[in-house]
Every structure is written in structure tokens, then in C-alpha cells.
Structure 1
Amino acid sequence: MTSTPHTPTDVEVFPPTLREVMLRPRWIAMLLLSLVVAGVFAWLGQWQLSRAIDTDPPPPGATEVVRPLADVVAPGEYLPEPLVGQRVEASGSWIPGDFLVVSSRFNEGVEGYWVTGQLRLDDRDEPTSIAVAIGWASTADEAADAVAQLQFDAEAPDAAPVTITGRIISDEGPALPPRGADPQEMTSMSPAVLLGQWHDVEGLDVYRPYLASEVAPRLLLDISSPAPAEGSNVNWLNIFYALEWAVFAGFAFYLWYRLAKDAWEKELEDLEPEPGG
């Protein structure tokens, strides 16, 4: 008696489970890659979170203590946020020809003009300057008269060094003049823009922030510059970024799961019998 040999179609094929697919070397390797990516995202989230809370905030009223400019920020550096509005003191000499006017400056709600100057600092190994907002004028003519007077005083043979006390403030960045205005008109206090019009700048170190003087010379009014509001020691934007990185880390695992499941579902479809077969 002979037996009938089995044909390949007689072999029963069991579909794989999702777990079996996930345990294949390919998907284990993908899981390890996801772990690496998630680890990077988690590290970035932890880094953002560590920057979100200032564990050593400045004490209340710290900005009102006059400090030497060199102790607060160095030339070319950005001004740290806790130090914006810090009262500082700087000594030096005005550079003749660099008294420039900035428009659209408000003083106690009244629009006017700032007269600015290049203060060449003393006691520096390299030539170093900072832009100074010297005082406020209500009209362009008053600002022009003040520029002429400051220029005359700076060029005098007996011109003495000056000491300026005021608030150190971040660069406002360049801004386009109003439509129809003089293309050279400046409407923002930007040391970078002022530097482009200063003289004697070869090899010059320049401060990124500017100094708003507390006391104006004659022909100008004092610039209104109140103390900055006390800020919170929690940076909510950094906390939001940290949460974003946590979501990205979770998404790395979800993407691995979704791709493995898609591969499993594709295998199940391939094992289904053809219609009418």
C-alpha cells in the first residue's frame, strides 16, 4: 500500500503574531536605533529644563547698584537677560564727529530724538568704544543744536574725560526709516548701525549693547529709563521646549511600533488566499 505524498499546498502556514515580527533582528535593530534617538531627545529636554529655572537669580534691586561696565559685559558679547537695564559706570572720551541723532525716541510718552555718541573707554589695552544715548530732544533742530555743542566741546583743547552713569541695554537691531524719510535716518538704537558711521574704527572693539545716560548735558533732557521689572526665575519658554523634546522622544518609539505593525499587517495580507482560489 502506497501513501500519497504531500504537496506544498498541503502544508498549513500559520500567520506570525505581531510579537514575533517585533522580535526579528531587523526590528530589534530598529528598536535600538529608536532608543538612541529617544535618548538624544531626552538629553535635549533635560538640558532645556536645566536652563528653565534660574537657581541663582539676582537679588531684588540688583540692577540699581552701579557697577563698572567691565564687570557686567565684555566687548562683542551679548548682554545676559538678567543684566538688561543694569546701572553701570564707564569713563572715556567722546570721539569728535560721531554725535549722531536717532529719531522715534519716546520720553515720558512724547516722541522726540536721541543724541548719541561714541565713548572711547579709558584703561583698556585695545581701543574700545561703547555707543551712548546722551540725551533727549523734542525736535530735530534742538537735537542738531546739541550735536553742534557736543562737537565743539569734544574738539576743545582742554576737553576732559567724562564719566557716564546709566543703564546698559541690548541692541535694538537695525530698522528701515519711514516711507519718504531720509534713507540715512536712524529710528532704532543699534550700535552695529552706528559703527558703520563712526570714525577711527580700525582695530576697534565695540560693545554690542548701548549705554543710556542718566544725566543729559545742557541743551538736552534726561532720558527716561525706569528700573526694569523684576522677572520670574522660571523661563516658561524653555519648559515648553523641554516638553516638546519629550514628545519627540515618545514619537521615536511610536514610529518604530507603527512601522513594525505595518510590516506585520502586510505579511497577513500576503498570506490571505486569493479570491476564488
Structure 2
Amino acid sequence: MAAQTSPPRSIFSPRLWGAHALVIVFVTGAVMLGVWQYESSQQDKQDQVAQLVHAKPKSFTDLIGPNDSFPWEQIGRPVTVSGIWMSSETIFIDGMERGSEVGYWAVTPVLVEDTGSAVYVVRGWTPEVASAPPAPRGHVTVTGWLQPSDWADVADDRKSDNVFPQLDIADLISRTSYDLYSAYMVRSPVEDNWPASSMPVNDGATDVADVPAPQLPEPEATTGLRNLLYAIEWWLFGVFAIYVWWRYVRDTLRRPDDEDDEGDEGDDATPPPEKAPQESHVPSEA
């Protein structure tokens, strides 16, 4: 009989290098493919958000009424509102960043004549209140992104001026004589290849920088789901490969002596004693 080859005694044995290399290649590939599928799912969501942000604007009054709560399913959607600038009610929001600079939002409400209520419109960003352009006047049609009221708990230490730490509609209601909508708008820039490019230019945007929408619309829950499931599937393949590798290495490192010992234990076991046959007592005939 051929002599049995002794198994490796260490996980670093050259006989196991092939298994190590194979599992590293497979797990690395599974992880990278999973990351690629995950990034694809996130890109699908970003693409859908970009489409929603640049969709055809809807009428502001069709989405929200003067006494309605904020329609959260419409957050970040482009809307159009027509009315009259309320230049005397212009306010500024402090602490607004634009790149590395910190300045102010220039905000002026628009009175919607059909409802008699007003909606605050963020016209743009300015580095200083003193250098802000004069508030616009007259009738206007503004296209912008629908945003909810700010709810941050920030105290206003300067109640005597028109500078506020946040655009809180509930706080502004007590400081104006007009009824306010529970939402505000961020003026959108006039861009090519977007319906907003055909809208009237907002005169209040002169000499102020464009402001991006603070909150964007939410993509659908199923957007990118297929790619996400593919990513999870690849990662599970990687976990399974590690399990197979571990079982293979464990079985390879197991000593044959251990199996022989298990077999010897079975051979050395003392069988239970056999019962001696009992004599049958047959009653003698009288």
C-alpha cells in the first residue's frame, strides 16, 4: 500500500496557497461587483431626483392652499406663482453659505391675488445686507422649488431688525399683517433645456447669486432596487466563498490520527455480555 501523505500542520502551508489565492480573488471580485451594483442603484436615484427637480413646473396654488399643511410628497418640486412683490416685507436669513463664503438670503414675499395670502420667495444670496439689491416691485411670475418651513430651534436675538436666523413660517406669521402659506419657494435660475427657461425672468434676481434647493424631492422607493439586490447577491456570494474556504482548510488540517482515534474508540468498546441460555425445565412424567 502507498504511504499516506501527512496533512499540512499550518494554515500557511504551501499546499494551501492555491486555496488562499482562489478565495482572495473570488471575494475581491464579489465585493467589487457588489459595490458597482450599489453605486449604480444610487446613481439611478440621483438621476430620478435630477429629473424631478427639472420637471415641468406646476402651479403653486394647485399644490397648496392658504390654510393647508405642507405637501411633503411635493418637496423640492418646481412650481410657478404669480402675484405682487411685497417689497416692504423683505427679510434676510443670516448664516447662509455659498461655497466658502457666509452671507444672507434675500427673501421677499409675493402676494397671491387670487387667495390674498403670501408666499416667501428666496430671491438669491448676497454677501452683505447693505450691498443687497433693492427689493423688486410690481407684478411678477416666479418659478422656483417648493420648500417646507425651517424647524431648527434657533433663537432670534435681534427681533427689531429684518434679519432672521432661519426661514420659520410660524415665526414670520406673528411679524406680518398678511396670511402666509406654510411653504416658501427658492427661485430657480433660468436654464436652457428646461421649462423654466420660458418663464418670465425674476427681476428680483438681479445682483444676487442663485441658491440651490435646500431639500430635494425624494425618489421612488423602488428606484435602483434591482441593482441593490444584485449588490446584496454578490456580497452573499463572497460570504459563501469564505465559508467554503474555511471548511476546506479545516478539513485539510485535520489529522488522520484524530479519525483513527475515533475509530479505535469504537473498536475498544466492550460489548455487553451475552446472556447465557437458560435451561428449560421440563416437568418429569410421573
State the structure with more CA Rg.
2
TM-score by length of 1: 0.50
